Structure 1
Amino acid sequence: MSKRLLSICILILLAQQLKAQQYGLFNTKTLFDGFENPAQKVFTLDSSRQYASNFLLPYFGVNAASKGNSDFVRRLINEGIYKSQDIPLERKGLNTLYQHTNAYLLTLKIYNSYKYQKELGFSWQFRTDALAKYTNETLIMIDDADRINNPLMRNGIFNDKGYGLSYHQFSVTYRENYTKRLAFGAKLSLLSGTSYHQLNIVESGLKNTSGSGFPEVGFSGTYRATFIDDKELSSNTLMPTFKNPGASISLGTSYQSKSGYFLMANLKDLGFIKWNNQSYYKRINSNITIGDPNQSTADTKKQLKDAIAKNPDREGFYSATNAKIDVMLSKSFGLWTPSIIVSKNLFFTGGDAAMVNKFKYEGFSVSATPTYNFHQLFYLGLQTMYQTPNFEVFLGSDDLLKTTSQVQGILNKDATIGNGYNGASVYLGIGIKFGNFVEHPQNSSTMPGIGEESPGLFKRLFSIFSKKK
């Protein structure tokens, strides 16, 4: 295996799949907005039709970034050259790789009732999440192990850690107006896990010599995985089988003030996945020989793989989904609508602070979104959208400048294109509404929910709690 492929395999081992938020789609009444922010409305009275769907058309976002050794990573991706000579030894801190994918395969939203503005939704998503932190020495060992054969080097030179998971998400969403200005929503999901990898090296260092007279790298930690060998993969690996079941919940609320301010808050994807008893677990306590001139890259790779994954135990385990809390404050000033959004992961490191600047004229809008990622990365996103009450199409990037330079570098096979950290992001979607118009009761005798006397779900729940008090 080439050094390029080997390095990619190591990064995949640390992080199987990066995280797109698409903040420009918040408070847009798109299908994405309605499913990701469950208190949000998708339909417009007297204008929209009763049903909305993407009809299996593209509706997804993917985001990736790598911080640390940017020139090395850029050369590896753009030119396919693995050159570790310029990577410094004993660099303080860890390099970071993170990723997220969120693809809505099929969606359906139903305007359920005029009274309380009830909306019911069903969706099928495929999601990935990953975060990896790794040392310079990990990359150098593959290419030039002689550089790290000094036993006086600090301990922890291979203390890598990371996780990656992917799963299907089948959801039911419901939202309603509690008052004319206050709304609540919920999203209940059944999950089907497809892959999981977690590596955590807690102790590592160089020993003086091995039995062969060459230095050894010793390291210990843990490794979990749903598969180790490529032979375990099949066409059914990414299909939902519910061998690894799970569940999650999202809760949201929004408030429109009389002065025009819009406030939204969400708790998203709080849940878990139970991975089956055929999953792998290994407590790592191994040594790898380095510096042997008779040892090839393939030999080093085999030692590394065996140290991490050879003879693992089999056991089931639970993993948490990447739950987060986000808050949005917005107000329109004619054609310009600025929004401030803060999002923070609950169980994993990371989060974002973004300012969305949307400029809208009739059905067309453009949004520019500077974002500060808590991994100390700064993005500039751009989104274009055409939207009518019954049709939506959008294309955007959370990191436009990096995406543009990254694509140019790959197409030209030129590592000199671009500077700073490496990253790429793209999202797009098409949604269509159909069926009867959701007209005001005075204009229609077929409006769903007309004549309904019972209060909404959240009104009934809150009334029960108030009576108990």
Structure 2
Amino acid sequence: MKYFLGLVLIFTFTSARAQQFSHFNTGTLFDAFENPAQRAFVPDSSRQFAFNFFFPNLGATSILTGNAQASVNSLIKKDVYNSANLTNGLGNLNNLRVASDSYWFMLKMYNRLDGDQEFGLSAQTKAEGHGSVTDETLLLLDSYKNFDNGKLNQDLFNDFLEGQAYHQFSLTFQKKIDANVAFGLKLSTLLGIYYNKLDIEHSSFAVNQDNTKANLFLQGKYQSNYYGTYRKRDILGLKNPGAAVSFGLQAQLDNGLLLQGNLKDLGFIRWNKSAVTYNFSGTQNINRVTGSTQNDTRVLTATDSLTSINGSQHAFYTPINGKVDLAISKKFVLVPDFSLTPNLIVSKELFYNGLTAALVNHFTYRNLWVTALASYNQDRAWSAGGQLMYKSPNVEFYVGTEQLFQSARFLKTSSANYNSTGINAFIGFSAKFGRFIEHPANASTIPMGEEKGFFDRMWTRIFKRSYY
């Protein structure tokens, strides 16, 4: 059922862009792909190639605000639907955002010392969703008796749900324009996996006087990239092409301030001609409502029927969740080998109303990084979290969360409503290999014209000849 699928997407879809703030100005391979102007190599320290060796760099995040927090928590933890905190007749909204980013493949090469040029290839899978569901919608799924009041209960079920998933294959280029300014570019091909959007503009629900049936009215629009059964091969997304571009600038000022600006993932997906759009408006009778106080199945069946009228199949375009980021930071060396780098970051979504400000502090002691952060978004939700990372010139491993307290509340059983509830976690690894990047004046060896590169040595080892 479409409506059920939408609810499942919005409330549980966190399959794997979560660490969007923790990695700013860390110089990790992930940072270099997400923020194109950021370099991943340090001459005279790093080796020439950086690779994640197919270790997935994963992140998932979700955040929920509203009275439904206890209901969702109870349903997930206890398989019991608790509607005690939901209000009726006020149209209070429950807002939820989910996002995920899985880098399956990351490979970057340092090209030459002149300009600090870097080239990269990456493959990732992203998912993003957002929506607003009223308290009354969740009450209706619990029991029709919540609306056995002789009224039409108009426009109390006006919900919005949207989610999509896609593959992203990218080429990146980073170069220093001069000694203090760097430019980065990321060009991406997209393959759409899944798209679902439900927008209910007008609604009503009324129970007949004899309490034997009810009338559900819905008016709005429903879109999906598939008609009928979603097949396994659809997960490849070959029928739904798209493109995106990201670029960034980074400038080091004389006073030590580091400025960074990024336009990320400005792009669209074309969903193929088999995609379906329904402009629905109608009423559905729900019979035998007295048979059970739990009428979620009947309501969802009626909703599915109503949203399947006045349909047409045609291609359409949707934007992906592009963003503009601005960041300012400065590094302070407190004692030898120990430094503090505070970062102030503002991120604005281009096609949605998302706006987040964050303060990120990197504490570094030799190869150990500890990051603490706090953020605040347009839903008036505060978040705090941290990251623990080991980062040497040629190896990096990190793990962390950007929603420490929301995640703790989500993991424990509670019937209370907080400002927000959610869950966030990320993990990643990469390493560098190949020859050392050395300035000629610092070179540890003198090239004699006979030294072979990394791939030449590998080829020789695999296919070397034996002589007797």
* TM-aligned CA distance change 1:9 to 1:83, over 3 Å: farther
Partners of 1:227 and 1:212 in 2: CA distance: 38
Equivalent of residue 22 in structure 1, options 20, 30, 53 = 20
The AA in structure 1 aligned to 2:370 is V
Distance change (3 Å), C-alpha of 1:46 and 1:417: farther
Residues 275-316 of structure 1 deviation map (CA, whole Å, 9 limit, x = unaligned) = 001112111112233572147543332112222236732111
Hey, what's the Cα distance between the residues in 1 that align with 2:447 and 2:124?
Answer: 32
Determine the structure 2 residue equivalent to 1:465: none
Moved more, 100-109 or 302-311: 302-311
Corresponding residue to 2:46 among 37, 45, 48 = 48
| Alpha-carbon spacing, 1:258–1:211, altered in 2? closer, same or farther (3 Å) | same
> Would the aligned equivalents of 2:52 and 2:107 in 1 still touch at CA under 8 Å?
yes
- 1:161 corresponds in structure 2 to 160
Task: Give runs of aligned pairs for residues 270-289 of structure 1, distance below 5 A.
Answer: 270-289=266-285
Aligned residues of 2:91 and 2:135 also touching (Cα < 8 A): no
CA contact (8 A) 2:147 2:206 kept: no
Query: 1:112 — aligned with what?
Result: 111
- 1:244 aligned to which of 240, 256, 266: 240
Matches within 5 A, 1:14-163: 17=13, 20-69=18-67, 70-150=69-149, 152=151, 155-163=154-162
- Write the mapping of 1:4-15 to structure 2, written as runs, cut at 5 A: 9-12=5-8
Distance 2:4 2:76 in 1: 9
Q: Which residue of 1 aligns with 2:364?
A: 360
Q: Please state how far the C-alpha of 1:269 moved relative to its aligned partner.
A: 0.2
1:359 CA displacement? 0.8
Name the SS for the 2:300 alignment partner: helix
Aligned residues of 2:227 and 2:274 also touching (Cα < 8 A): no
Shift of 1:419: 4.7
For 1:163 and 1:326, how far apart are their aligned partners in 2?
23
**2:91–2:136 Cα contact (<8 Å) kept:** no
SS class of match (1:309): coil
Separation in 2, partners of 1:90, 1:350: 27
1:186 matched residue in structure 2: 185
In structure 2, what is the equivalent of residue 217 of structure 1?
A: 216
Q: CA deviation at 1:93?
A: 3.7
Q: Which of 286, 290, 293 does residue 290 from structure 2 map onto?
A: 293
SS in 2 for 1:29: coil
For structure 1, the 5+ residue unaligned runs are 448-469
Distance 1:151 1:255 in 2: 65
Letter in 1 for 2:252: Q
Whether the 8 Å CA contact 1:275–1:317 is kept in 2: the answer is yes
In the other structure, the counterpart of 1:392 is 396
Comparing 16-25 with 326-335, which one deviates more in the overlay?
16-25
> Partner of 2:265 in structure 1?
269
- Structure 1 counterpart of 2:377: 373
Q: Structure 1 CA distance, aligned partners of 2:87 and 2:401?
A: 32
- 8 Å CA contact 1:210–1:289 kept in 2: the answer is no
Q: For 1:284 and 1:152, how far apart are their aligned partners in 2?
A: 23
Match of 1:201 in 2: 200
Q: Aligned letter for 1:383? A: Q
Give the distance between the partners of 2:209 and 2:281, measured in 1 at CA: 15
Question: Which residue of structure 1 aligns with residue 457 of structure 2?
Answer: none
Kindly provide the amino acid, as one letter, of the partner of residue 363 in structure 2. F
Q: Do 1:260 and 1:331's aligned partners in 2 also have CA atoms closer than 8 Å?
A: yes
2:9–2:129 CA contact under 8 A, matched in 1: no
Instruction: Tell me the SS of whatever aligns to 2:18.
Output: coil
* Runs of 5+ unmatched residues, structure 2: 334-338, 449-468
**Is the contact made by 1:15 and 1:197 (CA closer than 8 Å) also made in structure 2?**
no
Q: What is the SS of the residue equivalent to 1:91?
A: coil
- Distance of 1:214 and 1:154 partners within structure 2: 15
Matched-pair contact (CA < 8 Å) for 1:226–1:279: yes
Q: 2:409 touches 2:421 (CA, 8 Å); kept in 1?
A: no
Residues 220 and 386 of structure 1, relative CA distance in 2, 3 Å threshold: same
Work out the CA distance in 2 between the residues paired with 1:213 and 1:78.
Answer: 33
Q: Distance in 2 between matches of 1:94 and 1:143?
A: 17
The range that moved more, 137-146 or 430-439, is: 137-146
Q: TM-score, normalised by structure 2?
A: 0.87
- Secondary structure at the counterpart of residue 22 of structure 2: helix
Q: Distance in 2 between matches of 1:446 and 1:134?
A: 66
1:314-352 alpha-carbon deviations (Å, 9 max, x no partner)? 111000111110000000112211110000001112121
Q: Which amino acid aligns with 2:395?
A: F
> Which deviates further from its counterpart, 361-370 or 137-146?
137-146
**What do the CA deviations read for 1:52-110 (whole angstroms, capped 9, x no partner)?**
01011020211011111222122112211112244210234411111000110101000
For residue 228 of structure 1, report the CA deviation from its aligned partner: 5.9
Aligned mates of 1:216, 1:155 — CA distance in 2: 12
% identity of equivalent residues: 34
How far residue 213 of structure 1 moved from its aligned partner, in angstroms, is: 7.0
Contact 1:366 1:385 in 2 (8 A): yes
| Residue type of the alignment partner of 1:227 | Y
Contact 1:165 1:195 in 2 (8 A): yes
CA contact (8 A) 2:18 2:99 kept: yes
Secondary structure at 1:116 match in 2:
coil
- Relative distance call for 1:378 and 1:267 in structure 2 (3 A) is same
Deviations 1:248-291 (A, max 9, x none): 00010000112110000000000100000111211111223357
Which letter maps to 1:147? N
Change (3 A) 1:382 1:264: same
* Higher deviation after alignment, 324-333 or 154-163: 154-163
In structure 2, do the counterparts of structure 1 residues 47 and 211 end up closer, same or farther at CA, with 3 Å as the change threshold? same
- Confirm or deny: 8 A CA contact 2:225 2:276 kept in the other structure: yes
Q: CA deviation at 1:193?
A: 0.3
Alpha carbons 1:267, 1:325 under 8 Å: kept? yes
2-structure distance, mates of 1:433, 1:300: 55
- Contact 2:166 2:194 (C-alpha < 8 Å) held by counterparts: yes
Question: What TM-score does the superposition give when structure 1 sets the normalisation length?
Answer: 0.87
Task: Quickly say closer, same or farther: Cα 1:211–1:416, change in 2 above 3 A.
Answer: closer
Residue 3 of structure 2 contacts residue 304 of structure 2 at CA under 8 Å; is this kept in 1? Answer: no
- Secondary structure of 2:221 counterpart: strand
Query: Please, what is the CA RMSD of the aligned residues?
Result: 2.5
